[in-house]
Structure 1
């Protein structure tokens, strides 16, 4: 390993530590970097004289880092494993998985770079938020549910409130209050029969029926959906959209 601030003479052990793909550091008791390997310099550059590791830690994560050092000093038989944000000397934000253990005179630290994974995770979350915002802005009820007589819902958009008078979370994974309980009893068999017929033919379904809303009013709704199938063609569930039917809309019944 390299000694901070200057590299010392290369020995077989130094060459060996530099072969490790993960960044390895030895820290003094106060958190200063005593030794580091090549993988660390490739990630963050060579530290200057008397450089403390906390200098690299993101400002908001520094209290967590200080707490980790304190806890390991108090309980040296434990370890600290956490994802922390680091700031490259260039100003670039990095995400590292850190594994910290107490040594005889300081600490041993293993650092894994998960920046690419974290950026993909952030991009995916942003995309999901955008998709959810789009779904929730729709005037009707967008859903994904199970193919059972209760029509148990796994996902319901925010438009559920405007359509039925019930908040979306009231219908999700609720076995006592299900979407089927909103469908008028006279229409329930029709809805089940038509959906099963379409699923057996691997076709989309389109329905017109009535529901009873939270204020006890009756609404005529139009639903269009499709089945979700396994590779074996087994029906895993259904998904679709339900809207209030306008006065001039033609019935398919």
Structure 2
């Protein structure tokens, strides 16, 4: 059965126009029968898969799906047939030339209340997926670089507790506490770890630098989880809104204590 016969209520004079419309689309359009065999594809199908309409007709759509994605395809078709709602799926499609492309398919019943036939649109999202993978790889590389720095990179609030909103993994070696223990905590804070003799000077120095929109550099002692104080060096700067209001502070804290004997 062709898609034109499925639209048999349309006057025959309009059928060529409908075919032209479907073939002009940039996405593949498909119709599936109750056996999930392809009964119609538009012209874009060949551009996407390399198979002609004649080669595709009466074949199972699962023949074009990467084996690892088959169960997802089965699940989505059952859900659409059972519930009658439109569903979408990202999957890997195997082209005629064996190239694997990431695609998105949107599947729905042709007629409300009837589980079959099903109609679908299919588009190539390979460039989008690759960009996402590159972005994730770049993020992993940057995160790895940050976490290998022998110190603690931070971003925090401009309050007397120096409440942390982000700290790198270097916090563990610097303070003896892990990231979960330091982030947005009320019981434990970087401000609470600064030696009492240094805390006032640290606060005043940072506030003066923020008022003048310049970087600050500090030397002070911080209490490690082992009960010993460490000498540290900190360099940071303010984070400002477009109006100049202070939103927070960010920088790096390094352990400069002499190596223990």
TM class by shorter-chain length? 0.7 to 0.9
**Could you say which residue in structure 2 is the equivalent of 1:202?**
213
Equivalent of 2:169 in 140, 158, 165: 158
Deviation at 1:108, TM superposition (A): 0.8
Paired with 1:17 and 1:206, the residues of 2 have a C-alpha distance of: 66
**Could you say which residue in structure 2 is the equivalent of 1:142?**
153
Paired with 1:92 and 1:236, the residues of 2 have a C-alpha distance of: 49
SS of structure 1 residue aligned to 2:166: strand
SS of structure 1 residue aligned to 2:32: strand
Q: Give the TM-score of the pair, scaled to structure 1.
A: 0.86
Equivalent of 1:18 in 13, 19, 23: 23
Deviation at 1:244, TM superposition (A): 0.9
Indicate the larger mover: 120-129 or 168-177: 168-177
Question: Do the aligned residues in 2 keep the contact of 1:86 with 1:94 (CA within 8 Å)?
Answer: yes
CA RMSD of aligned residues (A): 2.2
Question: Do the aligned residues in 2 keep the contact of 1:211 with 1:219 (CA within 8 Å)?
Answer: yes
CA deviations over 1:116-162 (Å, ceiling 9, x no partner): 22211111110110111111111211112222222222221111111
Q: Give the TM-score of the pair, scaled to structure 2.
A: 0.83
2:123 is equivalent to residue 112 of structure 1: yes
2:55 is equivalent to residue 44 of structure 1: no
SS of structure 2 residue aligned to 1:116: helix
User: Residues 72-87 of structure 1 correspond to what in structure 2 (within 5 A)?
Assistant: 72-75=80-83, 77-87=84-94
Q: 1:193 to 1:40 in 2, by over 3 A?
A: farther
CA deviations over 1:89-140 (Å, ceiling 9, x no partner): 3333322222111234321112233222221111111011011111111121
Matched residue pairs, number?
240
Question: Do the aligned residues in 2 keep the contact of 1:99 with 1:111 (CA within 8 Å)?
Answer: yes
Deviation at 1:172, TM superposition (A): 1.9
SS of structure 1 residue aligned to 2:218: strand
Paired with 1:136 and 1:37, the residues of 2 have a C-alpha distance of: 51
Paired with 2:206 and 2:98, the residues of 1 have a C-alpha distance of: 56
SS of structure 1 residue aligned to 2:203: helix
Q: Which has the higher helix share?
A: 2
Question: Do the aligned residues in 1 keep the contact of 2:51 with 2:96 (CA within 8 Å)?
Answer: no
Deviation at 1:247, TM superposition (A): 4.2
SS of structure 2 residue aligned to 1:31: coil
Indicate the larger mover: 195-204 or 103-112: 103-112
**Could you say which residue in structure 2 is the equivalent of 1:241?**
252
2:112 is equivalent to residue 101 of structure 1: no
Question: Do the aligned residues in 2 keep the contact of 1:140 with 1:244 (CA within 8 Å)?
Answer: yes
Question: Any unmatched runs of 5+ in structure 1?
Answer: 4-9, 249-253
**Could you say which residue in structure 2 is the equivalent of 1:133?**
144
SS of structure 2 residue aligned to 1:219: strand
**Could you say which residue in structure 2 is the equivalent of 1:67?**
75
**Could you say which residue in structure 1 is the equivalent of 2:10?**
none
